Amino acid sequence: MEDHFEELLLNLKQVVGFIFPNEIELHWGLLIVVYPYVTGLVAGAFILASLERIFNIEELKPTYRLSLITALAFLFVAPLPLLSHLGHPELSFEIFLTPHLQSAMAMFGFVYIWYLMVVLLLEIWFDYRKDLVVWSRNETGLKKYMYKILTLGATDLSDRALRFDKKAGKFITIIGIPSAFILHGYVGFIFGSVKANPWWSSVLMPIVFLFSAIVSGIAIMILIYGFTTLIRWKKFQMGCLDKLGSYLMYAIILDLSLELLDFIHRLYESEESIKIISQMVSSRLFLSLVIIQLILGSILPLVGLVLVRVRPLPDELRRLIYFGSAILVQVGIFSTRWNVVVGGQLFSKSFRGLTIYKVQVLGIEGLLMSIGLLLLPFVILWALIKIIPPWPEAETVVPSAAAERKE
Amino acid sequence: MKKDKKELTRREFLKKCAVSAPAVLLLAEAESIFAKNSPELSDHKEAHYFGMGIQIDKCIGCGRCVNACKLENSVPDEPFYFRTWVERYVVQVDNEVIVESPHGGGEGFPSNISEKGIARTFFVPKLCNHCANPPCVQVCPVGATFSTQDGVVLVDEDYCIGCRYCIQACPYGARYLNPFTKTADKCTFCYHRIKKGSNPACVEVCPTKARIFGEISLRSSPLTRFFRFNKVQVLKPYLNTEPRVYYANLDGEVR
Q: What chain A residue is nearest to B87 in terms of C-alpha separation?
A: A20
* Closest of A217, A229, A254 to residue A330, by C-alpha: A217
Interchain CB distance below 8 Å, A23 and B173: yes
- Bridging pattern class, strands B232-233 and B184-185: unpaired
Count of helices and strands (H, E) across chain B: 7, 11
Residue A82 pLDDT > 80, yes or no?
yes
CB atoms within 10 A of CB A383: 12
What does the alpha-carbon distance between residue A125 and residue A123 come to, in Å, rounded to a whole number? 5
Q: Which of A108-117, A251-260, B130-139 is least confident?
A: A108-117
Residue B90: φ, ψ to 5°: -120, 110
Nearest CA in chain B to A201: B169
pLDDT at B3 over 70: no
The CA-atom distances, in angstroms, between A102 and each of A99, A188, A281, B136, B221 are 9, 16, 33, 11, 34
Q: Are A17 and A348 in contact (CB under 8 A)?
A: yes
Q: What are the strands of the beta sheet with B84-92, ordered from one edge?
A: B97-100, B84-92, B118-127
Contact between chains at B82 and A12 (C-beta distance less than 8 A) = no
- CB B169 to CB A194 under 8 A? yes
- Residue among A25, A87, A89 minimizing CB distance to B80: A25
What integer pLDDT is reported at residue B29 of this predicted model? 56
Nearest CA in chain B to A90: B161
Check B171 against A349: CB less than 8 A apart: yes
The tens digit of pLDDT for each residue in B65-91 reads: 999 999 999 999 999 999 999 999 999
Prediction pTM value: 0.89
Contacts of B175 in chain A (CB under 8 A): 22
Do A233 and A337 contact (CB within 8 A), yes or no? Answer: no
Q: Do A105 and B104 touch (CB under 8 A)?
A: no
Nearest to B141 among A4, A95, A344 (CB): A95
The answer to whether B168 contacts A349, with C-beta atoms less than 8 Å apart, is: no
Q: From residue A315, how far is each of A232, A301, A308, A309 by CA, in Å?
A: 19, 17, 10, 12
**Cβ of B255 and A349 within 8 Å?**
yes
pLDDT at B36: 43
Share of chain B above pLDDT 70, in %: 87
CB contact under 8 A, B162 and A22: no
Is B153 among the domain residues?
A: no
Q: Which amino acid is at A108?
A: F
CA distance A398 to A146: 20
Q: Do A94 and B164 touch (CB under 8 A)?
A: no
Lowest mean pLDDT among A308-322, B11-25, B214-228: B11-25
- Enumerate the residues of chain B whose CB falls inside 8 A of the CB of residue A94: 142, 159, 161
In a domain, B123, yes or no: yes
Q: How far is B127 from chain A (nearest CA, A)?
A: 11
Q: Measured between CB atoms, which of B80, B141, B142 is closest to A24?
A: B80
* Whole-angstrom distance, CA of residue A382 vs CA of residue A70: 9
Whole-number pLDDT of residue B28: 57
User: Quick check: A116 pLDDT over 80?
Assistant: yes
Task: Flag whether B128 is in a domain.
Answer: yes
Quick one: pLDDT band at residue B40, thresholds 50, 70, 90?
very low
A16-397: CATH, from 1.20.1630.10, 3.30.70.270, 3.30.360.10, 1.10.357.10: 1.20.1630.10
Classify the C-alpha dihedral A41-A45-A50-A56 as positive or negative. positive
Given an 8 Å threshold on Cβ–Cβ distance, is B140 in contact with A100? yes
Q: What pLDDT is attached to residue A327?
A: 97
Mean of pLDDT values over B51-62: 97
Question: What gap in Å lies between CA B188 and CA B174, rounded to an integer?
Answer: 11
In a domain, B145, yes or no: no
ipTM: 0.91
Cβ contacts of A349 on chain B, cutoff 8 Å: 170-173, 255
pLDDT at A204 > cutoff 90: yes
B36 touches chain A (CB under 8 A): no
Nearest CA in chain B to A4: B179
CB contacts under 8 A, B 44-73 vs A, are none
Cβ atoms of A293 and A262 within 8 Å: the answer is no
Beta carbons of B163 and A352 less than 8 Å apart: no
The verdict on a CB contact (< 8 Å) between B161 and A86 is yes
pLDDT at A374: 96
Which of B159, B165, B168, B236 should we substitute to test contact with A (largest number of A Cβ atoms within 10 Å)? B168
pLDDT of residue A39 exceeding 80, the answer is: yes
What is the distance in angstroms between the Cα of B151 and the nearest Cα belonging to chain A? 19
Can you tell me the mean pLDDT for B5-30?
Answer: 68
pLDDT of residue B8: 62
Beta bridge partners of B91: B97, B120
Q: Do B104 and A21 touch (CB under 8 A)?
A: yes
**Interchain contact, A87 vs B167, CB within 8 Å:** no
- Burial label for A123, CB within 10 Å (0-12, 13-18, 19+), is buried
Contacting residues of B for A79, CB less than 8 Å apart = none
Chains A and B form CB pairs within 8 A to the count of 133
Nearest residue, CB atoms, A94 vs list B87, B135, B159: B159
- We report the CATH number of the domain holding residue B89 as 3.30.70.20
> Is residue A399 predicted with pLDDT exceeding 80?
no
Structural domain including B116 reads 50-134+158-248
Tell me whether residues A88 and B161 touch, CB distance under 8 A: yes
Contact A349 B169 (CB under 8 A): no
Q: d(Cα A42, Cα A380) in Å, to the nearest integer?
A: 13
DSSP state of B157: T
Closest CA to A69 of A383, A323, A372: A383
* Chain B (96-155) residues lying within 8 Å, Cβ to Cβ, of chain A: 97-101, 103-104, 126, 135, 138-143
In a domain, B106, yes or no: yes
| Chain B residues 188-207 with CB within 8 Å of chain A | none
* Helix%, strand%, coil% for chain A, nearest 5: 75, 0, 25
Choose the most confident range, by mean pLDDT, from A93-107, B54-68, B217-231. Answer: B54-68
Q: How many domains does chain B have?
A: 1
